[in-house]
Chains A and B, each alone.
Chain A
Amino acid sequence: MSIVPLITFKAGACEYNDEQRDDNKVKPLPAQGYIYLYSDDDLIHFCWRKRSAPMTEPDLDLVMVPTDGQFVPYTWADQSSAKTNGRIFVLKFASSSSRHFFWLQSKPQSRNGDPSWFSPRDKKIGEIVNRLLQGEEVSATQELGQVRNVDDRRDNDDDETMEDVEGHGGAGHGATGGDIREEGEDAREGGSDGARAAAGGARTAPASDADAAVQNFLRSLQGNAGLGSSSRSGGQQAADKPYPYLNHLLPNETTIPMLASASEAFTDNLLGFLPPTVLVLATGAGDAGDVEPSAEAAAAARASLRLAEKKNLLQKVLRSPQFHQALGSLTMALRDGGLPTIAEALNVKVANGGYIRGGGMPLGGGEAVEAFVEGVKTTVKEEEEQRRQ
């Protein structure tokens, strides 16, 4: 049987003890997964599966009677003791007291890094699921296309939104993927006002005829080739491809000798990617308090350092736990769907832009890290050739 999900998004299950106790906690379970909904015989199936599991083998498969279920954000106000430290949705039933909790595993979008802040997009996903449970016909693709996320943290340059959700059966890659990657550019929509505006404006009619025709066409293909996330995790490719993390590729034993033989130009280039404080401290300046020096001070510091001092400084950074932690989180981001945006930000040419061939989902897991490293290889080879010409 082939399943055509109406919506699929990254979410994890939570453990919850049903007994009524004050200190009851919703405990997010670490397994990476997807929530997806599909329709069968006019009944909606609400499913959760691990990312590695095929769509036909969900860990949770609830057949939902229309209007019985409610899928809503679980917020601080619902809890007696402590604030949540993640974005949690609860699935409730009119017919029973049982509840299921899920946490969103996409990247949090909060300006201040509040992990419990629901972005307009997060809310929209919840709203779509809830409306599907009420028996409404919703085009996830179209609806999501109308919500822009806000992503305006400090380090905006490298801080792109990752593709976290796939509305199925729409116009495919061009509609979902394309829109999502442009998110976060419009800071005016930031904050809760933006959320209200976006959510309010998005209540539109069900899919148009043209849209329905496209959906039908795509559905007819689905069983054979698979599209979007279904090809990524449906059956054919159950296991993660083993590939080293960036930490394993860039241990001190590798980076320090590379640095030792590096040219002054390359060394200076690397220094340009360090925080100014580190450069100023390397000149032996005293304790000026914990304030960031100006770019001029950093440039002056850099100019005053000899090559050996520069390499010494870089060596310390390469050995620092902070750098190694950053390699870990960069690897996780690549594995978790960040390849297209990271490659673009770093000017690394990756095959097919980092997306699965013929689908709108980014590569994931070990495949994504491999594509990234291979992309770096291609890029440096090209640069080398250009230099020779």
Chain B
Amino acid sequence: MSGGWNTIESDAGVFTYLLENLGVKGVQFEELLTLSPEELAPLQPVYGIIFLFRYPSEGLPPRPKESYDHDAAERLFFARQTIQNACGTQALLSVVMNKTDEVDLGARLSEFRDFAMALPPDLRGEALSNSELIREVHNSFAKSSPFADETQRAGDDEAEDAFHFVAYSAVGGTLYELDGLQPAPVSHGDCGADDFPSRVAGVLADRVATYASSEIRFNVLAMVRDPRVAAAEMGDQETLAREEEKRRQWRWENALRRHNFVGFAGEVLKGVVAEKVRQGDGAYEAWIQEGHRRRERDEGAMRLRRKMGAAGGDTGDGDEMMLG
């Protein structure tokens, strides 16, 4: 084992630049707000879907044995998951590695694919977790918290549930579910590139329906062709400008994600305290009192949320942590 994998956020900007930094060209992620084919169809060509969900600690319902396609496990790029924190990255790779006829992987990832395809699926997972390239790029998107995340997680009631990523993609005329925790890809029947949006929407809707609605939180990201490519070809300046702005926003967020804010936070705190001290007249004490009030308010809100349980439309807020 060579080093660890940090948790990263399930976010379109993170995933897009993660693949780009691995050398993949012309791919982008879009976060989907619904599971409807209407939302997915305009994004075509859609290479695949990344489905992140949180499931209760009792685990997932088992699959019937006949749904596994063991032949596809060898033929496709399918890797058994060995590193929990890498599962999001593994799901991205499960899609893009099976789309080599449409997507340029770049030299380094192609080289890794050639190497890994010669191995059986369980060793592919092992190869993935030992890949310096993939691990370094993955970890470059981790939050820069110089402190123990364990302490943060400790206060979180939701920590006991597990998160998991599953990829869906149409490969060679079949809709596959690629889940590294399963022994092989799961076939969902015939499916061409054109009917992928409607077919995968149906499969996901069925899947979500098998859990009680209060038990599952999910986040769906579509892997699509970089919209700037088509926009540039068609001279669609409006789309081009909009997509460029989106990218700038993603880069901004990624930069802040990686940033160590300790120094900045210290300076801001000094600025605020200096202001309160200058104001005199109990301004500092009043500010602390206000802080106490906010804390009590937050704690009250937290208790209320706990009481209400997981109910409520709490689907993908774009800020899920990859834990599984």
Residues of A whose CB lies within 8 Å of any CB of B are 12, 23, 27, 30-32, 76, 82-83, 85-86, 103, 105-108, 110-117, 153-155, 157-159, 162, 242-251, 254-255, 258-259, 261-262, 266, 269-270, 273-275, 277-278, 281, 286-287, 289-290, 292, 317-318, 320-323, 325-330, 332-333, 335-336, 338, 342, 345-346, 348, 373, 376-377, 379-381, 384
Note all chain B residues with C-beta closer than 8 A to A30.
153-156, 159
The closest CB in chain B to the CB of A108 belongs to: B148
The closest CB in chain A to the CB of B20 belongs to: A290
A105:B150 contact, CB within 8 angstroms = yes
Check: B115 CB closer than 8 A to any chain A CB.
Answer: no
B261:A323 contact, CB within 8 angstroms = yes
The closest CB in chain A to the CB of B145 belongs to: A329
Note all chain A residues with C-beta closer than 8 A to B308.
none
A269:B267 contact, CB within 8 angstroms = yes
Question: When each residue 80-93 of chain B gets 1 if its CB lies under 8 Å from chain A and 0 otherwise, what string results?
Answer: 01111100000000
Pick the residue among A113, A329, A335 that contacts B4 (CB under 8 A).
A113
Q: How far is the CB of A153 from chain B (nearest CB, A)?
A: 7
A275:B148 contact, CB within 8 angstroms = no
Question: When each residue 55-75 of chain B gets 1 if its CB lies under 8 Å from chain A and 0 otherwise, what string results?
Answer: 001010000000000000000
B147:A329 contact, CB within 8 angstroms = yes
| Contact flag A86-B150 (CB < 8 Å), given A113-B139, A245-B295, A273-B267 | yes
Check: B229 CB closer than 8 A to any chain A CB.
Answer: no
B251:A290 contact, CB within 8 angstroms = yes
Pick the residue among B153, B275, B319 that contacts A261 (CB under 8 A).
B275
Which of B42-50, B183-191, B193-201, B252-260 is the contact stretch? B252-260
Pick the residue among B151, B255, B269, B275 that contacts A373 (CB under 8 A).
B269
| Contact flag A266-B271 (CB < 8 Å), given A83-B83, A85-B84, A246-B265 | yes
Q: How far is the CB of A81 from chain B (nearest CB, A)?
A: 8
Check: B108 CB closer than 8 A to any chain A CB.
Answer: no
Q: How far is the CB of B84 from chain A (nearest CB, A)?
A: 5
Q: How far is the CB of A223 from chain B (nearest CB, A)?
A: 32
Residues of B whose CB lies within 8 Å of any CB of A are 1, 3-6, 17, 20-21, 57, 59, 81-85, 135, 139, 142-156, 159-160, 244, 247-248, 251-275, 277-278, 284, 287-288, 290-292, 294-295, 298, 319, 323
A117:B292 contact, CB within 8 angstroms = no
Interface contacts beyond A30-B154, A320-B253, A322-B257: sample of 17 additional A-B pairs, CB < 8 Å, sorted by A: A12-B154, A30-B159, A82-B82, A83-B82, A105-B150, A108-B148, A242-B292, A243-B295, A258-B272, A269-B267, A273-B264, A281-B252, A287-B244, A290-B254, A323-B261, A332-B148, A384-B274
A248:B146 contact, CB within 8 angstroms = no
When A and B form their complex, which 10 residue pairs have the shortest distance between CB atoms, in order from nearest?
Answer: A114-B4, A244-B291, A326-B261, A112-B3, A277-B255, A273-B264, A333-B147, A346-B266, A248-B294, A322-B256
A326:B139 contact, CB within 8 angstroms = no
Q: How far is the CB of A31 from chain B (nearest CB, A)?
A: 8
The closest CB in chain B to the CB of A103 belongs to: B150
A39 to B150, CA, bound (A): 30
The closest CB in chain A to the CB of B5 belongs to: A114
Note all chain A residues with C-beta closer than 8 A to B17.
290
Note all chain A residues with C-beta closer than 8 A to B247.
287
List the count of A-B residue pairs having beta carbons below 8 Å apart.
223
Note all chain A residues with C-beta closer than 8 A to B271.
258-259, 262, 266, 270
Note all chain A residues with C-beta closer than 8 A to B298.
248
| Contact flag A117-B4 (CB < 8 Å), given A85-B323, A249-B272 | yes
Q: How far is the CB of A378 from chain B (nearest CB, A)?
A: 10
A339 to B313, CA, bound (A): 39
B21:A326 contact, CB within 8 angstroms = no
9 cross-chain CB contacts under 8 A: A114-B3, A158-B260, A250-B272, A254-B290, A275-B259, A277-B255, A286-B248, A320-B253, A325-B143
Note all chain B residues with C-beta closer than 8 A to A266.
271
| Contact flag A381-B255 (CB < 8 Å), given A110-B3, A112-B4, A113-B6 | no
Q: How far is the CB of B20 from chain A (nearest CB, A)?
A: 6
Pick the residue among B155, B160, B268 that contacts A250 (CB under 8 A).
B268
Note all chain A residues with C-beta closer than 8 A to B269.
246, 249-250, 373, 376
Q: How far is the CB of B213 from chain A (nearest CB, A)?
A: 25
A377:B273 contact, CB within 8 angstroms = yes
A116:B292 contact, CB within 8 angstroms = no
A165 to B319, CA, bound (A): 34
Note all chain B residues with C-beta closer than 8 A to A327.
261, 265
Of A31, A286, A322, which is in contact with the most chain B CB atoms at under 10 Å from its CB?
A: A322
A323:B264 contact, CB within 8 angstroms = yes
A325 to B261, CA, bound (A): 9
A247 to B298, CA, bound (A): 10
Q: How far is the CB of B80 from chain A (nearest CB, A)?
A: 10
The closest CB in chain B to the CB of A245 belongs to: B295
